[in-house]
């Protein structure tokens, strides 16, 4: 069975939500965990996942875009879409993930399901895949990257990041940014 690897842990409420969703949607707890971590990594608005029970590799974006590896299985596509939408809603209303430590490498961490330093404020864009996550802060022209549990802050100088690309497969930490 495939296991989603994440540096985050579920709260007791998160564990119960995973069990409830699995039972209600007729999928395994592991499949729901995979989606929960993927939706959380995508800031609650998008997810990239890979789980055999969910058709292999897939993507979901709030607003209706859902792709599963078994691309002509419309029932599975609807199931994944429904699960991701419910998970997104829960992430916005409940504390499903154990908050990161208050200090990480001498920096405060933003409360809730976020992982970036609190002093950066709210990012305009977040995302992630595998073990690489990013958050862009246009007010301070800074980019935070979480890779293998380590947060690194970059000054983007006069670059205003307008696009992000992550490659599936290959190098897990591969991120490409575009600017003006």
* Residue range 83-96, pLDDT digits in tens: 999 998 898 788 88
Domain definitions of the chain by residue range: 12-93, 103-179
Segment 136-163 mean pLDDT: 80
pLDDT more than 90, % of the chain: 28
Give the least confident one: 5-19, 27-41, 50-64: 5-19
Judge contact between 60 and 46, C-beta under 8 A. yes
**35-62 per-residue burial string, b: 16 or more CB within 10 A, e: under 16:** bbbbbbbbbbbbbbbbbebbbeebbbeb
Between residues 105 and 156, the one the model is more confident about: 156
Helix H or strand E encompassing 95: none
Helix H or strand E encompassing 124: none
Q: Taking the model in full, what pTM does it have?
A: 0.58
């Amino acid at each position: 069975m495939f296991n989603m690897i994440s540096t985050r842990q579920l709260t007791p409420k998160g564990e119960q939500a995973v069990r409830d969703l699995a039972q209600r949607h007729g999928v395994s707890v592991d499949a729901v965990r995979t989606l929960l971590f993927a939706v959380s990594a995508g800031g609650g608005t998008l997810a990239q996942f890979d789980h055999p029970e969910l058709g292999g590799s897939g993507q979901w974006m709030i607003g209706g875009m859902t792709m599963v590896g078994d691309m002509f299985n419309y029932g599975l596509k609807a199931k994944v879409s429904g699960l991701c939408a419910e998970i997104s809603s829960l992430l916005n209303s409940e504390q499903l993930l154990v908050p990161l430590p208050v200090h990480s490498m001498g920096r405060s961490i933003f409360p809730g399901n976020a992982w970036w330093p609190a002093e950066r404020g709210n990012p305009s864009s977040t995302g992630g895949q595998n073990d690489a996550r990013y958050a862009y802060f246009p007010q301070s022209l800074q980019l935070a990257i979480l890779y293998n549990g380590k947060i690194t802050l970059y000054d983007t100088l006069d670059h205003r990041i307008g696009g992000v690309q992550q490659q599936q497969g290959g190098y897990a930490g591969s991120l490409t940014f575009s600017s003006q």
